[in-house]
Amino acid sequence: MMVDGNSLTVEGVIRVARYGEKVEMDEKALEKVRKARETIEKILREGKPIYGVNTGFGELAKVKIDENEIKELQYNLIRSHSCGVGDALPEEVVRAMMLLRLNSLLKGYSGVREEVVEKLQQALNLRFYPYVPSQGSVGASGDLVPLAHIALALIGEGKAFYNGDLVEAHEAMEKIGMEPLKLEAKEGIALINGTQYMAAILSLAIYDAFNLLKNAQIAGVMSLEALKGTNSAFRQEISMARPHAGQIRISQNLMRLTRDSEIIEKYGNERVQDAYTLRCMPQVFGAMYDSLEYIKKILNVEINSATDNPLVFDNDVISCGNFHGEPLAIAIDLLNIVLTKMASFSERRIARLVDEKLSGLPPFLSSKPGLNSGMMILQYVAASLVSENKSMAYPASVDSIPTSANQEDYQSMGSIGARKLMQILRNAEKVIAIEYMVASQALEFINEKPSKATKIAYQMIRKEINSLKKDRAMYDDIEKIAYLVHNGNIVREVEKNVKLD
């Protein structure tokens, strides 16, 4: 994939970070990198002060650095900032961070040498996987701490993973044939001053969130049919009377997903209206879709932006605040809310399916209730996951704790929201997987044929897990269907026959 600083997409991030596609660098972008470097070296020869290049950092910006200590300053910066804690970030997140940092440097505003971007390219293409702890960023002076751990590994210090084992970074480099990066002036701060931790997690999560929303629609329609509901509330004229773009799109999807359903044809016409979690799917899913589109719009700008400090412009170097994570912090918090609501919406349909008083189906979808608990406890698990998500959905960006002796006195805390986002997304995927399982079991008790889309999803689920004839341990079943959800397997099969927007 060609990287040029301006045209990276979320889908491109996925291809490189998750699936290992190799990257190339655009020659015009490299020329901008060279030109900016010439400016840095010219200003250094003139002896002018440049923040973080021949001065200290943060509150220490007033301290002038001697010319013979400028290189040491960059190494000290990376070492001092490599103090993260917590679990290591997954490989796909670290790869996304490196790709996004490379793309930002290729815009030509950072003043690094060509060797720096070449080293990031090499690290990606050789699958070099630095050890990066997940905690320690406040998401404002860039994601300093996690990015510092990547830079630390690139200079041959710190740690990295090789074949699943955590080893010294220089050992991993030797095994893959990679030399450590030698830093020059400005390059340490350029490697760590950016929003790429937040942007990497959000890039992966927004891609998965769009996929999850499609899964939620398919699972919702399965539940609608299993509950013998009607699709009349999905009619286009209803959405045109309240023409939110997302609602219109989702109502069209739901109509396609319910097409040719014998269940709806037989029972749906008898229903005046269904419960909100069935009847209001266009409105609720539609609002979620609109929110996802907004988040992706913000992200598309961010991943093609220069987010370090200072920046180089036409023979001038200017200190600025492009590293501040506020745009991402708010977007991340919104995604956490959307995913929490998506899972909560699903859990209410699960609860309805297992409740004989609401479903008209056997208690807990067991053919011999009492002796068997059936799918009773699956709803407990869904409720637990939803409650956990609710506890994490409080916006991280409403908080701020000043740092660097109040020089950096307002933080975005978007990194906190990003850490929560990874867990909230995993929880939501499992809740949708449980709805698939419960709705598929409910369809076992209905003689009429479901829609074509539901039948495809049902068959995909049954390839992985059997219907529940008597009680069994279902923890593996949940993981199997959650895997289908995460990887988009059910969506892809359904979309071969039913187009989803």
- What does the domain layout of the chain look like in residue ranges? 2-194, 201-304+338-495
CA distances from 466 to 379, 488, 489 (A): 18, 20, 18
The per-residue pLDDT for 285 is 98
Fold adopted by 201-304+338-495: Fumarase C; Chain A, domain 2 (1.20.200)
The DSSP call for residue 63 is: S
The per-residue pLDDT for 224 is 98
The per-residue pLDDT for 71 is 86
Torsions phi, psi for 307 (to 5 deg): -125, 20
Q: Residues of the chain whose pLDDT is less than 70?
A: 57-59
**Cα 215 to Cα 211: distance, rounded to the nearest angstrom:** 6
The per-residue pLDDT for 66 is 81
pTM above 0.85, yes or no: yes
CATH node for 2-194: 1.10.275.10
The per-residue pLDDT for 62 is 73
Out of 19, 51, 294, 458, the active site residue is: 51
The closest of 57, 34, 54, 29 to 43, measured between CA atoms, is: 54
The per-residue pLDDT for 314 is 87
Find where tokens 């068959």 sit: 459
The per-residue pLDDT for 44 is 85
The per-residue pLDDT for 48 is 82
Q: Which string of DSSP letters, residue by residue, matches 246-287?
A: HHHHHHHHHHHHTTT-HHHHHHGGG-S---HHHHTHHHHHHH
The per-residue pLDDT for 176 is 98
**Cα 173 to Cα 180: distance, rounded to the nearest angstrom:** 7
The per-residue pLDDT for 409 is 85
51 is catalytic: yes
- Whether 17 and 99 have beta carbons less than 8 Å apart is answered as yes
The per-residue pLDDT for 35 is 96
What are the E-state strand segments in 229-280?
none
